[in-house]
Structure 1
């Protein structure tokens, strides 16, 4: 089993991702070796003197370190230790089917390049389908989003994987509301609230183009653009609390249209990122200096 190392916006927390899920709709947080008695792997990790907290959820293990080391000095060794433990048959978490214990939820806020948006990261998987809501009417598939829109300062909401990006109105500062939002999200999820009912998500034309059955009907250049966006661009914008989707490619104008979602939507630096980053990348990788990238805010 191969471990992938993923950075987070919190420099003290690093994620070690597995190819498959390692828990069954459960998440765990351990502050010390005694709390980790149902996780042999977490107990082993606590023998490392820099390990402060271990989170296990979905397909990843996240570790918060003490400041005595930098992740760059130890992350490869930690990944190798986790791989060796699992590949040798070690148990990650002892599953007790007779115990239906409410697990603690950890939520922490991360800044994004968009000063109007804040990313709230949760230590459990929330959805397999990224969704964006502009108002409470659009949020019928997300009870959590509907509740968040009751806060008068919430303008837009984007939910993907294990985080919620909230965009606020300019009338209030994040210092005034961050703790309130973080606490609300934490309690909502801990009390069993539904984040997203994926069965209620309407088919989105923008999302459909990314699906394999529609992907196969696109021209070769459009397919290449989607592959580049998926592999090289999406991970970066996701780390900043946003998302990017392919919309269209005009062969005559050499114009690529993309949809920006979440924190990327309306971000002051998005124009620079599109022109100096994505556009130049597409020009180089497609060997076409005439390509133009245009954003359509989701």
Structure 2
């Protein structure tokens, strides 16, 4: 098995491509070792002691190194962990009590930051369609994801994940890229804010 790596716009993050699906649907972020307990793979990566974030995409895993950690030393350790995981065909997630081993995908926090006004249902649908078709594929290409967190008073609230969460250019991506796109297609959007 050969695992490719790609750099991301975030110099602390590296994207690993195992050449096979990682998540059947959705994405999953582990922002600390406690969250990683849900996945033996994420936990093993955190156990290196040099990692601050692990993100599972559809066909990639993004790992963010702790401040001051050199990828020269960390990359071979992560590659070894990933090879062991995929060659052994181990489950991605630990089983929850009462479920079959490996078939429990823990839910992510999908709660909205602000409640959407039902009167804005058409606007919210337009925003989500643009995020899904134009923004998420580009952000996934950089080793991350974006989550819609609400729309209120002309403001769209979004959360960046994976390599994009700590990227030095994430503010520019939100303010100049995503905000410009949404304002162009949805005139009711006045601003985009990180949530």
Q: TM-score, normalised by structure 1?
A: 0.57
**Contact (CA 8 Å) 2:39, 2:93: kept in 1 or not?**
yes
Aligned mates of 2:119, 2:180 — CA distance in 1: 26
Aligned mates of 1:270, 1:157 — CA distance in 2: 17
Give the structure 1 partner of residue 190 of structure 2.
291
Gaps of 5+ in 2: 95-101
SS of the counterpart of 2:160? Answer: strand
Give the structure 2 partner of residue 117 of structure 1.
13
**Contact (CA 8 Å) 1:119, 1:165: kept in 2 or not?**
yes
Question: Per-residue deviation at 1:218?
Answer: 6.8
- Whether 1:200 aligns to 2:99 is no
TM-aligned CA distance change 1:217 to 1:263, over 3 Å: farther
**Contact (CA 8 Å) 1:149, 1:155: kept in 2 or not?**
yes
Give the structure 1 partner of residue 175 of structure 2.
275
Question: Per-residue deviation at 1:225?
Answer: 0.5
Aligned mates of 2:28, 2:71 — CA distance in 1: 23
Give the structure 1 partner of residue 49 of structure 2.
152
- Whether 1:239 aligns to 2:136 is no
Question: Per-residue deviation at 1:199?
Answer: 4.2
TM-aligned CA distance change 1:204 to 1:176, over 3 Å: closer
Aligned mates of 1:217, 1:247 — CA distance in 2: 17
Give the structure 1 partner of residue 98 of structure 2.
none
Aligned mates of 1:135, 1:276 — CA distance in 2: 29
Moved more, 129-138 or 233-242: 129-138
Aligned mates of 2:133, 2:26 — CA distance in 1: 17
- State which of 89, 94, 108 in structure 1 corresponds to 2:4: 108
Structure number with greater CO (CA < 8 Å, separation at least 6) is 2
Aligned mates of 2:81, 2:35 — CA distance in 1: 21
Question: Per-residue deviation at 1:179?
Answer: 2.1
Gaps of 5+ in 1: 1-104
After superposition, give the CA deviation of every residue in 1:60-108 in whole Å (9 maximum; x if it has no partner): xxxxxxxxxxxxxxxxxxxxxxxxxxxxxxxxxxxxxxxxxxxxx3211
Give the structure 1 partner of residue 62 of structure 2.
165
Aligned mates of 2:107, 2:80 — CA distance in 1: 32
Aligned mates of 2:34, 2:104 — CA distance in 1: 13
- Whether 1:263 aligns to 2:163 is yes
Residue correspondences, number: 183
TM-aligned CA distance change 1:217 to 1:201, over 3 Å: farther
Moved more, 191-200 or 173-182: 191-200
**Contact (CA 8 Å) 1:109, 1:178: kept in 2 or not?**
no
Question: Per-residue deviation at 1:195?
Answer: 2.2
Aligned mates of 1:151, 1:199 — CA distance in 2: 25
Bigger radius of gyration among the two: 1
